[in-house]
Structure 1
Amino acid sequence: MVLRSYWKCRLKSSCFPAPRWIRPGLAALFWFCVTQLVCGAGALGETKSVTQKDAEFDVTYNDTVKSYNQTIYAFNHTISRNKTEGVRVTVDVMQQHLESPILFVIRQKQAVMSFQVPLILRGLYQRKYPYKHVGRTLCQPPTRAASETQYFFVDVSTLSSQETNFQLRVSRVESFTLQTDRKFSFTASPSQPQFFKYVFPDGVDTVIVKVNSDVNFPCSVMSVQDIQCPVYDLDNNVAFIGMYQTMTKKGAITVQRKDFPSNSFYVVVVVKTEDEACGGPLRFYPLQPDELIDAGNRTKDLDVVVSPAINSEKYVIGMLFCLGIFLSFYVLTLLVACKTPASPYEYGSFGELERSLDSVARSRQESLSSVEEDDYDTLEDIDSDKNIVRTKKYLCVSDLARKDKRILSKKYQIYFWNIATIAVFYALPVIQLVITYQTVVNVTGNQDICYYNFLCAHPLGALSAFNNILSNLGYVMLGLLFLLIVFKRDVTHSRLYFFHPECGIPKHFGVYYAMGTALMMEGLLSACYHVCPNYTNFQFDTSFMYMIAGLCMLKLYQKRHPDINASAYTAYACLAAVIFFSVRGVVFGRGNTVFWIVFSVIHILATLLLSTQLYYMGRWRLDAGIMRRIVYVIYTDCIRQCSGPMYIDRMVLLVMGNIVNWSLAAYGLIERPNDFASYLLAIAICNLLLYFAFYIIMKLRSGERIKCLPVVCILFTAVVWGFALYFFFQGLSTWQKTPAESREHNRDCILLSFFDDHDIWHFLSSIAMFGSFLVLLTMDDDLDTVQRDKIYVF
């Protein structure tokens, strides 16, 4: 069997392949001998020669090479442990024989590098780009001796039968080792990549490597690799090891000493053969599969600087600063509560208090579970009909607050329990997904996956940008504080309700609890999004923003319409539809005409339907007879007698709301913004602001006043929102563009060397949301002692 396998191998490697009828054995041995004689006779005219030359640095060697002539250039140089010098090999070929290129093999200690010239680099769709000028830097294996002489050899060979001229030059790179905080400029191209060495100085555990260029293109890749051979410095292999990212003008990678056992690393810069990865124009397709494309001039001037990152002290200061800001709100709230205590004497005399004790005790014994909203309607139809009450020209809160308080309290508590359930089931898979994202980034080293502000991204443990996560703490802490404030008000109101049961806006706190929970979840999900921000998980950051906007509008409407406000199931179903469209828009909305037409039509129809429901106070039913009723209303009110609207104020609000929403729908259909989630959020915020402004105007127009505390909250919140939006629109990164284009917007930290503009947006927006919630909570405190039949509905 061994002899049989051996002859099979020999037959395959002979000059003339054996016929199929030749079997291993003596016949095969005879055939092999004959073919070797023939092959040897044919090769007598071409004697293979190998020439070795002692070569020197910084000397240009002009030589020729042919298939039977191989040249070896021998170099030696002295390296020391305390000083590292790079060695660069530059090659030019005079002719371009693509069928038989020249092969250069560089043999050195612990490493072998080989490349052909012309160098063929492949781009998108396997397009081929030939390069006749090639420059490569040799890796520098570490040495333990104080000084050591190392040898390396450059072997030049080809299979071409024609002589090919080439130039070879080997030179030293004096500035091969980068110095801390010292900028170094260099030039690179696809066939002439560059890399440099950096050694961590004593006392520095983290550094930021910054690479900059004055021009966007050609597209480049910067990489950080461990000190080892070979160095992956070509477009087709630079992503094999280490950390890497594409770049146009800016690139930055934070490097930690713990990730590099040798306390040093290589900074590798490669110019790509094509610009598609950086958002550049897509070139033409090759006409033939093997068509060669002229690469043109793809030389790029760059500079690199390595700077120490912040130390552990800055981390501690940043965390203490973040905690201190939001704990101060707890202290301020406690001081305000202590200075303005709620006293039962404000609500009635001792006689009233005693008379109400029995009723309070009886009410506590009654179980809410025995009362259902659908069991009965406290509106006494025997005295007045719903249609008559709810379509009066001037409505009072007493007309729309006739249901039992226990029923409505149970109805609105469902808002809190539903959003708590949604939060759990929504957050758990999100946390699992972002952990997976961060793991993939850490394992692969591909920093194009996440859209950080790399110039101000401070890692901690496995997290790449801890500061962007920490700054979301305000949402959680202020959301919890708002829940505590609402709970205190709820308890106080439960004790004092029986003194003035028919006074003031009906106090139902379920929606307030839901708002505080939504604010806390916004902080958690925003932190999850900033673990690895990109376009596939941006909806994590916006989902509870939609809920906050929706709950605020529902709470504004509930204040004057407690009996006819939407149930929790209907409200969350509508918000689920909004989130569904948000996800569809992010995935399919870019440039999709059909999607934008469908969404715009649904947006306009939903606006009209909601306007009708609001105008007629929920008495307009959506059923089979709706078209007949629409025609009848148009005929009687517009054609027959052309009467004006009965509810002027509501009509003004709804007309303005339709103008705003139709304009937003038209803008979306015409412009088709890439950031669909933000566009959808803008629709929600515009409607909320419009309704809030209408509420304030109508409140003042109705002769009501706003107390000092809500006025202060309104002014404070407006100022904070203004500053927050300023920092939000700084745009330090954007997933609407390629990762390389996004990095052009990166900027340094501006607060405590730890937080950037977007972190300040997190601080200010959480405070502004908290202030907005306080405005909703306290805005109608002036009506607490006013009879409900004297409080207007609008």
Structure 2
Amino acid sequence: MAGGEPPTPGALLCALLWAAAAAPTPLGGGPGGSPAPGAFGRLYRGAVNISAERLYAFAYSRQPGQVDAVRVYVNSSSENLQYPVLFVVRQQKGVLSWQVPLIFRGLYQRTYNYQEVSRTLCPSEPASETGPSEQIIFVDVASMAPFNIAYELLVTRLENFQLETNKPFNFTASPSQPQYFLYKFPQDVDSVIIKVVSDAVYPCSVVSVQDIVCPVYDLDHNVEFNGVYQSMTKQAAITVQRKDFPGEQFFVVFVIKPEDYACGGSVPSSIHGNVNRTWNLQRTKNLQVTIVPSINRSVYIQAMFFSFLSFLSFYLGSVIVAFVEMLRSSDVELTGSFGSVLVAGSGIMTSSHPITSSTPEGSSYGAIDESSSSGGRQLSSPERGPPAGSDTDSSVEEESDFDTMPEIESDKNVIRTKVFLYLSDLSRKDRRIVSKKYKIYFWNIITIAVFYALPVIQLVITYQTVVNVTGNQDICYYNFLCAHPLGVLSAFNNILSNVGHTLLGFLFLLIVLRRDILHRRAMEMKDIYTLVGNMVVLLAVPAFTFYCVPSVDTSFMYMIAGLCMLKLYQTRHPDINASAYSAYASFAVVICLAVLGVVWGCQPLSPVGTLDLTLSSSLADLGIFRRAAMVLYTDCIQQCSRPMYMDRMVLLIVGNLVNWSFAIFGLVYRPRDFASYILGIFICNLLLYLAFYIIMKLRSSEKLLPIPLFCIVATAVVWAAALYFFFQTLSSWEETPAESREKNRPCILLGFFDDHDVWHFLSAAALFFSFLVLLTLDDDLDTVRRDKIPVF
């Protein structure tokens, strides 16, 4: 050694290998026990036993900057597992060995034996010296068998070992003949996508990306030890970034699995755990690999700008609409002030209270008795403050789960005798009590959102960490042909496309806040029409607060549909409505059914889930069973006459037909996605109730203003477009990861977003318009007295 330095362990090992190779052995294959010189591309045949082994030496010259890869093919006709043929390949910096028959173990201890084995040797590093260098490879063939075992040996140099960008490469692999190739990043490329396709679904295979380290893990039992990997049937895609490989190069490894169970296939029948030779001969797969450059940083920036500007345009549109409404309101106020003077002068309306003024003298029928001392019957007005010693926040009376209005016993029997009810008949409670009752929805949904979000975030972080540490990309079901990583996130585009739910949810809350401020300001100005007509603003906030807390979990969609139905119901029944506790308890029951359906399957729970949704969709109290029994007894047993409310009867019949159709469908077809099946029931019930509400509104001579009409049309159009992209299935968690990747497709928007991302964009806008429909649907009643608004 130069300078008297001690030899390194690698140098000592190399020297020992060369000495062992050069030393004569009585079992050597060459003359006098020396290694037999081998030639690349020549097939060698021979036989070995316990007393005779063969040793071959293959020498070649390595050019500067050249990566040389050598592949060794061996074959033995012997199937004797007791005396396999052993092959040992020695290189300058490594040793590789295997046996023939090569044994793989599968599920249930099944064994798969292969007589033909082909392995690629770990390539030598590019030479740094100025001239060529000599390299030598030794192949040792031996067996402990007391009899001769024939073998074949073929050593070749690979000409197409390095993959090129945008150039497809075709090859064949099998469980005993894996393949791997080298790829180097071009100077102007920072990220690439490795696309692998095959015409055949089976055999199941694994694609792995590994760093330039020897040995290369290219067998079924060790391919998961290094790098990142995916199982594959017909296609796979892995995004690789330059920053993850300091040497700016990597190996792409292709391994064929001995059985297809991991990819969703069946396991072959076997006798005594051994699979026949015919099965092994079918385990060859033709593959094509193409490496294409991925997107650069500018595409990330464009996608971010597109996402935020698209939804910020809704803010601009809302500001324009609010400005136009403000100008129109100013004109209406001026005209109304002049008109009120004329009305007062002519003596048409002399009272400032529209309800009491319209009631016959001495009668309280259908109106609010201001002389009562009951807090539950007082109409809150600016002229009358809260009772002495009361606290508007904490001293109001508590409400039960179902408000039966026991504090107005004197009027309850009178109201029950009315055939047609108006909103004043069901608006008997003090505004402070109603406000406190619905504030519970707000705080409960915040609590639920927190407890939902924290486990989901923890789960996402945990799984993403596991993916990054283990390299197992079968854990997450992404569209890998359009999965753009950023930092520790594997698919940043899926997260960015969800920004609309947060931005539009916050915008919706701002719209509700503005309406609430205008409502309170009108109360301060003693606008009596606002006091008696604008009930939507007071009750809309708690029903929609959760919108700014989106979740990918289907159970939150159940709550969206359920709360929308509750919002429609309480618009015409402000006093008679389920409490937040009973509503969320109903959601809990449905979510439990959904969980059981996912675990056990749909068939045993289809009719039960449908019946539960039919009953809980109204979000009523437990007294519904008693009242339903009473109605059936009085209307169907005591007397059988024409229904008093034909419109409601039609809705009831249609609703039952739809829900029982869902139950029959679930029993017959047994949908695999039980959670989506339950969600479909919820959405259909919501649409039925919304259609009934709009029809009854029009039949009651009410009208739809331009803004809610526009929102209805926009909701229908955007939902139709969103559902089109939703049903463009790009992955499926019901199948194995390999089968799910068969549905992967490239990006369709800006080279960054796929079909599911477009669904995220459109669904956020569709939800926004849907909530605007519910918020503005009764804007035509803002100046209508409550004793003129029918209940349905």
Indicate the TM-score class for this superposition, using the shorter chain for normalisation. 0.7 to 0.9
Q: Give the corresponding residue for 1:489.
A: 515
Residue 381 of structure 1 and its aligned partner are, at CA, apart by: 3.7
Q: Give the corresponding residue for 2:395.
A: 370
Q: Give the corresponding residue for 1:310.
A: 295
Q: Does 1:260 align with 2:245?
A: yes
The aligned runs of 1:119-268 (5 Å cut-off) are: 119-146=102-129, 147-268=132-253
Which region of structure 1 is more displaced relative to structure 2, 55-64 or 573-582?
573-582
Q: Which amino acid aligns with 1:607?
A: T
Separation in 2 of the partners of 1:502 and 1:390? 25
Q: Does 1:568 align with 2:595?
A: no
Q: Give the corresponding residue for 1:694.
A: 692
Q: Give the corresponding residue for 1:521.
A: 549
Give secondary structure in 2 for the equivalent of 1:724.
helix
Asked if the contact 1:401–1:506 (Cα under 8 Å) also holds between the matched residues in 2, the reply is: no
Which region of structure 1 is more displaced relative to structure 2, 445-454 or 146-155?
146-155
Which region of structure 1 is more displaced relative to structure 2, 659-668 or 337-346?
337-346
Q: Give the corresponding residue for 1:582.
A: 594
1:681-718 Cα offsets, whole Å, 9 max, x none, are 11111111111111111111111100011111111111
Pick from 394, 405, 409 the counterpart of residue 435 of structure 2.
409
Q: Does 1:345 align with 2:370?
A: no
Asked if the contact 2:307–2:499 (Cα under 8 Å) also holds between the matched residues in 1, the reply is: yes
Give secondary structure in 2 for the equivalent of 1:597.
coil
Q: Which amino acid aligns with 2:547?
A: L
The aligned runs of 1:607-686 (5 Å cut-off) are: 607-608=614-615, 622=625, 630=629, 634=632, 636-686=634-684
Give secondary structure in 2 for the equivalent of 1:216.
coil
Separation in 2 of the partners of 1:291 and 1:733? 33
Give secondary structure in 2 for the equivalent of 1:673.
coil
Separation in 1 of the partners of 2:85 and 2:383? 98
Q: Which runs of 5+ in 1 are unaligned?
A: 1-45, 527-540
The aligned runs of 1:51-90 (5 Å cut-off) are: 51=30, 52-90=35-73
Q: Given the superposition, is the C-alpha separation of residues 248 and 687 from structure 1 closer, same or farther in structure 2, using an over 3 Å criterion?
A: same
Residue 604 of structure 1 and its aligned partner are, at CA, apart by: 1.6
Separation in 2 of the partners of 1:325 and 1:719? 17
Separation in 2 of the partners of 1:219 and 1:360? 79
Which region of structure 1 is more displaced relative to structure 2, 366-375 or 269-278?
366-375
Asked if the contact 2:268–2:275 (Cα under 8 Å) also holds between the matched residues in 1, the reply is: no
Q: Give the corresponding residue for 1:719.
A: 717
Separation in 1 of the partners of 2:334 and 2:594? 49
Give secondary structure in 2 for the equivalent of 1:253.
strand
Separation in 1 of the partners of 2:574 and 2:417? 16
Give secondary structure in 1 for the equivalent of 2:220.
coil
Give secondary structure in 2 for the equivalent of 1:258.
helix
Q: Does 1:782 align with 2:766?
A: no
**TM-score if structure 1 supplies the norm length?**
0.85
Residue 583 of structure 1 and its aligned partner are, at CA, apart by: 2.4
Q: Give the corresponding residue for 1:553.
A: 565
Asked if the contact 1:210–1:250 (Cα under 8 Å) also holds between the matched residues in 2, the reply is: yes
Q: Which amino acid aligns with 1:782?
A: D
Q: Given the superposition, is the C-alpha separation of residues 48 and 543 from structure 1 closer, same or farther in structure 2, using an over 3 Å criterion?
A: same
Pick from 576, 585, 600 the counterpart of residue 607 of structure 2.
600
Q: Which amino acid aligns with 1:175?
A: N
Give secondary structure in 2 for the equivalent of 1:64.
strand
1:122-165 Cα offsets, whole Å, 9 max, x none, are 11112111111111111113244244322111110001111111
Asked if the contact 1:413–1:511 (Cα under 8 Å) also holds between the matched residues in 2, the reply is: no
Give secondary structure in 1 for the equivalent of 2:656.
helix
Asked if the contact 1:379–1:403 (Cα under 8 Å) also holds between the matched residues in 2, the reply is: no
Residue 508 of structure 1 and its aligned partner are, at CA, apart by: 4.8
Residue 675 of structure 1 and its aligned partner are, at CA, apart by: 1.4
Q: Given the superposition, is the C-alpha separation of residues 114 and 377 from structure 1 closer, same or farther in structure 2, using an over 3 Å criterion?
A: closer
Q: Give the corresponding residue for 1:762.
A: 760
Asked if the contact 1:219–1:271 (Cα under 8 Å) also holds between the matched residues in 2, the reply is: yes
Give secondary structure in 1 for the equivalent of 2:549.
helix
Pick from 486, 489, 496 the counterpart of residue 463 of structure 1.
489
Q: Give the corresponding residue for 2:348.
A: none
Q: Give the corresponding residue for 1:359.
A: 382
Separation in 1 of the partners of 2:547 and 2:464? 25
Which region of structure 1 is more displaced relative to structure 2, 638-647 or 438-447?
638-647
Separation in 1 of the partners of 2:530 and 2:753? 50
Q: Which amino acid aligns with 1:560?
A: R
Q: Give the corresponding residue for 1:748.
A: 746
Asked if the contact 1:347–1:500 (Cα under 8 Å) also holds between the matched residues in 2, the reply is: no
Residue 398 of structure 1 and its aligned partner are, at CA, apart by: 1.4
**TM-score if structure 2 supplies the norm length?**
0.86
Residue 290 of structure 1 and its aligned partner are, at CA, apart by: 6.5
Q: Given the superposition, is the C-alpha separation of residues 59 and 478 from structure 1 closer, same or farther in structure 2, using an over 3 Å criterion?
A: same
Percent identical pairs in the alignment equals 55
Residue 491 of structure 1 and its aligned partner are, at CA, apart by: 1.1
Q: Which runs of 5+ in 2 are unaligned?
A: 1-24, 345-350, 354-379
1:536-588 Cα offsets, whole Å, 9 max, x none, are xxxxx2222111111111101111111111111111111122222222322x1
The aligned runs of 1:19-34 (5 Å cut-off) are: none
Residue 237 of structure 1 and its aligned partner are, at CA, apart by: 1.0
1:206-230 Cα offsets, whole Å, 9 max, x none, are 1100110011111111000011111
Separation in 2 of the partners of 1:608 and 1:722? 28
1:308-350 Cα offsets, whole Å, 9 max, x none, are 1000000000000001001111111111111111449379649
Q: Give the corresponding residue for 2:4.
A: none
Separation in 2 of the partners of 1:330 and 1:635? 54
Q: Give the corresponding residue for 2:425.
A: 399
Give secondary structure in 1 for the equivalent of 2:533.
coil
Give secondary structure in 2 for the equivalent of 1:563.
coil
Residue 488 of structure 1 and its aligned partner are, at CA, apart by: 0.6
Separation in 1 of the partners of 2:409 and 2:144? 106
Asked if the contact 1:521–1:544 (Cα under 8 Å) also holds between the matched residues in 2, the reply is: no
Give secondary structure in 1 for the equivalent of 2:411.
coil
The aligned runs of 1:410-489 (5 Å cut-off) are: 410-489=436-515
Q: Give the corresponding residue for 1:109.
A: 92
Report the RMSD for the aligned CA atoms in angstroms: 2.8
Q: Which amino acid aligns with 1:88?
A: R
Q: Given the superposition, is the C-alpha separation of residues 405 and 88 from structure 1 closer, same or farther in structure 2, using an over 3 Å criterion?
A: same
Separation in 1 of the partners of 2:561 and 2:494? 23
Q: Which amino acid aligns with 1:499?
A: I
Q: Give the corresponding residue for 1:271.
A: 256
Q: Does 1:542 align with 2:554?
A: yes
Pick from 365, 380, 385 the counterpart of residue 412 of structure 2.
385
Separation in 2 of the partners of 1:752 and 1:508? 40
